[in-house]
Structure 1
């Protein structure tokens, strides 16, 4: 019995639908129409003899067979892209900025996925505050940035919400009548501004006892029981707890994570699609674990 021959476009359509969980968004990402991508998926399912995507008016998700096939499908696409890139000596730089309050355990996955997709791509990564990265992006010093959305900007590709809360070590004790001991990344940090504004508006006295040193240093200070800090619920250290209710601290507004880029050539756009899909996929998995 002969094995079915797979074509790259059909497999790419399936992978894109799975990653975006949307026929419309997958079609937009691949620069085609919803009808065309549906035809490609149907052709792939007929060749394999399995239903890969379950689709209802409100939901698009992998079938049981699709869940089994998704990783081999990604490997198939990655192998195709590596083979194509091997014939090209067009080595390029990709300057990527990731905000410190956004970067998490998904970063190695993002970089690995980019490298698999385009081995000729030299990836340079910078971790800074969202504000600093946007300044450098606007000056043309970065090709793409993943940052917390700033209030005055509505451009960029929305990668999903980011929720914040107050975290401290389980042993942290706040003395009654004393100012709240606060840790923050730096005076220009956007999350710090949100946190201090919320405390001031609630009439809670606070005192910064640890400022700067990077995200890891702030997390270490909080884990050691030295202070309280505002963290993304997704990225809070595993050894700290949400103390918002226990300490009577004000709720913090949610934000959005946004991908900005001005790149327009096909290879760069493919890299950006890979980046966005990997971020959404890892973030979705992490949120499910936390829930």
Structure 2
């Protein structure tokens, strides 16, 4: 195929996906780093066209979960010991990272991992390595620059000189250059000022509205629950809660542990509205 041939119809860059079957499924996933078991039988579902959030404190296994899905575990000396990951009715487990991207699943890792000595434009081009055809790459670039106009203004600037928020935009934009059907976001607002964090949240909404499925790992539980339709809570490598995001946000346990509300605040709020507090029957999992 010539370099400037258009992308084949089964691998478009800007995909408009439909809700329904063929989503991302994680089944009884167990992951170890040598003798340390990081995930203990994790199962979750990410329907096509949805935003699903994964909450949890540091060390809960959130990043490990995304690495297992994206095929990057081996770079961190981790391995899947049982269970697996499927996407669109086919396995992702056992594929290397480039093959996972080719299947339409792309990860934005934690920490704004841009190539600091490369320019913004060069970083974006690096995201097209799995894209066939100049027209496809050009369409992807146009889409990214519509989402993040500041990247067009900074195209010739080294990525390491960008602000933290701009680097996060670049990291997301680089991932979008591959035209993913599923975007894995690992702590996209970490270390950002509230205003910039909200801009990133708005971008996630926009990306999802255009048809991209999003699996969002985030310590900012309030923001994550506002974006997601469904959420899971990880503790020490296990799913301990799951449910519709709105119901989780109304749960006293979630509000106390992940939204920073004290027992006194919860009691005062419940007494003030004259209604019984919302109670969520949480889905409990065992290893």
Query: Is the structural similarity TM-score above 0.5?
Result: no
TM-score, with structure 1 as normaliser? 0.24
Computing the radius of gyration from Cα coordinates, the structure with the larger value is 1
Q: Which has more helix, going by share of residues?
A: 1
Instruction: Name which structure has the greater RCO, CA cutoff 8 Å, separation 6+.
Output: 2
